[in-house]
Amino acid sequence: MIISGLNHPFLNELKHNRLAMAGACIILFLLFCALFAPVLAPYDPAEINVALVLSSPSYVHFFGTDELGRDVFSRMIWGARISMLVGFVAISISTIIGVITGAIAGFYGGRLDSIIMRIVDIMLCFPTFILILTIIAIMKPSIWNIMIVIGLTGWMGLARLVRAEFLSLRERDFVLAARSIGASDARIIFSHILPNAMAPILVSATLGVAAAILTESSLSFLGIGVQPPTASWGNMLTAGKDTLQIAWWLSLFPGLGILITVLGYNLLGEGIRDAMDPRLRR
């Protein structure tokens, strides 16, 4: 397989990309926080303490407290778990749909390809965020509905990328050799062509996690995403905007969390794309 032959050069190139490694470190740190939130959070994120309402950052409450006296640092850590969960589940759904539809369209071509691509074109005509807002407004706001909706509305670009790769690879010699020995279509698609089309899939999935996290934060900020008292960086920003002049920390820390997370995934995604481009290899 072509991709297997590129594994070592790919990893070697990725390790020498400082920005990509910085992005990977950010993501690993956030994953660590998300996985061990119950241990790392010093307080219950939903615990209300009216005696500590809008307390500024201190050695007791590192990021201060919110309008209900809840510890912002603890809510930030638990919010990381929400963001990571939404990003991974949503992009998993969109990647599965995009890869399957793109592979079928590119491998079989003809009328089936035309039908699938017209469906993609129709869905791309609708502004994605407006479409998500409409669906969420109809459905009951919940974290699972948000993940499903983001996943179901984010697969079209990947489907086009996978289709283009399959159109390029389906006439290669290794595919013709597989056909000559009687390999089934499913085996050719998943065992021969798909491993060689992983470059755009990996890049799209990595960047897609950042987009999904940003979308969830936007929905939560608008009040139709993750609902209180569940801690989400988006609904923490919503709570902070009303007290921005007297409690700057309520908006600063969630905003930085979103910024750093999206930056980390974008840096890693760009690094993967550069490492998989033979023209940029040392």
**C-alpha to C-alpha distance for 228 and 206, rounded to whole angstroms:** 28
Contact status, residue 192 vs residue 183, Cβ threshold 8 Å:
yes
Q: Which parts of 38-92 are beta strand (E)? A: none
pLDDT given for residue 153 in this prediction = 87
- State whether residue 197 is helix, strand or coil: helix
pLDDT given for residue 282 in this prediction = 53
Quote the Cα angle for 215-220-222, to 5°.
Answer: 100
pLDDT given for residue 263 in this prediction = 92
H helix or E strand, kind and range, residue 119:
helix 110-125
pLDDT given for residue 5 in this prediction = 44
pLDDT given for residue 277 in this prediction = 63
**C-alpha to C-alpha distance for 14 and 160, rounded to whole angstroms:** 26
Class of domain 2-47+57-280: mainly alpha
pLDDT given for residue 2 in this prediction = 41
Domain positions in the chain: 2-47+57-280
Amino acid at 64: G
**For residue 81, which of 40, 141, 139 has the smallest C-alpha distance?**
40
pLDDT truncated to tens, each residue of the chain (282 aa)? 444 444 456 677 778 888 889 999 999 999 999 999 999 989 988 888 888 888 889 898 889 898 888 999 999 999 998 888 988 999 999 999 999 999 999 989 889 989 999 999 888 888 878 888 888 778 777 788 888 888 988 899 899 999 998 988 888 888 888 888 888 888 888 888 888 888 888 888 988 898 888 888 888 888 887 887 888 888 888 888 888 888 888 889 999 999 999 999 999 988 888 877 655 555
269 CB burial (10 A radius; 0-12, 13-18, 19+): buried
**C-alpha to C-alpha distance for 194 and 174, rounded to whole angstroms:** 12
